[in-house]
Structure 1
Amino acid sequence: MEILAGEGVALVKVGESRDVVESRVGPPVHPGRRSRAVYDTDPGLVITYQADETVELVEIGYGGEEVFFEGVQLTYRFIDDVVAELAARGHRAVPFDIGFSFEPGFAIFSMSSLSASELDPGAPVDDPRRVVEGVSVAPFEYFREPTEEEIEAYVRGLES
């Protein structure tokens, strides 16, 4: 599955309504109407909806069909290899706690549920290399770290 950086994937795009998405992919695999919905696609899609029921974020997990950007396989590879290949193509990586975001509007991440031995059978048990387990797609602004002022304003809003 090829991602459309900053937009989503062919099946689901940021800004589309839940009704439009579900007319293409069917209902979510869990009951109810929640802000996050999991869809039975290959690979699986997890869609985050805003309060107005439009797509805010498209997430794609590893397994089944792999995920690509400009022909580069993103999922089920060592995260450092993906970052290096994208950097060689001119895409700057911005690190965050579980992965890297990229300015075109996507992020790769690892929840560390896969070990290096999944890709390298000769890897020692304590091999620290992380495997890309998922990709998130949204406009780059979504992945930007908030400023101190934004955090303070958010906290003030919660207090009032």
Structure 2
Amino acid sequence: MEIIPGVGVEAVKIGDPRGVVEQKLGPPVHAGTHTRAVYNSVDPMLVVTYDQDDAIELVEVGYGVHDQVFFDGVQLTYRFMDEVMTDLAAKGHLGTPSDIGFDLQAGFAIFSMASLSAHELDPDAPEDDPRHIVEGVGIAPYSYFTDDQPPLNGTAEELEAWLRQRGVLPAES
């Protein structure tokens, strides 16, 4: 499965309403909280986070049983994280470390919940091998993953100023 950074995947995209998603993928197999839903109609599985208006704000894709997640010719999931970051950097895709992986400026994050051991990919790896395997990819605008979040519950003016500062809206004249 190929990701579209900052947008989603072919099946679901940031901003899609819940009704459209469920029309495409069927009902969630695990609804989780009201804002998160797990869909099992594709491999790999999709986890979607909805905002307060029931529109997608984050698409997460886990490693698959049969298929993996790709971007720009690089296999992102079910590989060692350091190898993925080396390949992405070679293609000019930069990121910043997070507590569970890397946030990439293109508009996605790779992460490991440390549920897989290095032995999964390297049978000769020692028991205490610290290498992490990329278990999933989160897709949203880069600002979603950084501290540079829009003002939640802010005024319309605060949100407009935040968008102007980031070049989403033109500067005031």
Q: TM-score higher than 0.5 here?
A: yes
State the distance in 2 between where 1:9 and 1:143 align.
18
What amino acid maps onto 1:13 in structure 2? K
User: What secondary structure, in the 3-state scheme, does the structure 1 residue paired with 2:125 have?
Assistant: coil
**TM-score w.r.t. structure 1 length?**
0.89
User: What secondary structure, in the 3-state scheme, does the structure 2 residue paired with 1:19 have?
Assistant: helix
Moved over 3 A (4+): none
2:144 match: 142
Q: How does 1:7-156 map to 2 (within 5 A)?
A: 7-30=7-30, 34-40=34-40, 41-64=42-65, 65-146=67-148
Report sequence identity in percent. 60
1:34 offset after TM fit, Å?
A: 1.3
Structure showing greater relative contact order (alpha-carbon pairs closer than 8 Å, 6 or more residues apart) = 1
Structure 1: 5+ residue stretches without partners: 154-160
1:145 offset after TM fit, Å?
A: 2.0
State the distance in 2 between where 1:140 and 1:21 align.
23
Aligned residue pairs total 150
Structure 2: 5+ residue stretches without partners: 155-173
1:107 offset after TM fit, Å?
A: 0.3
**TM-score w.r.t. structure 2 length?**
0.82
User: What secondary structure, in the 3-state scheme, does the structure 2 residue paired with 1:100 have?
Assistant: strand
Kept after mapping to 1: 8 A contact 2:100/2:112? yes
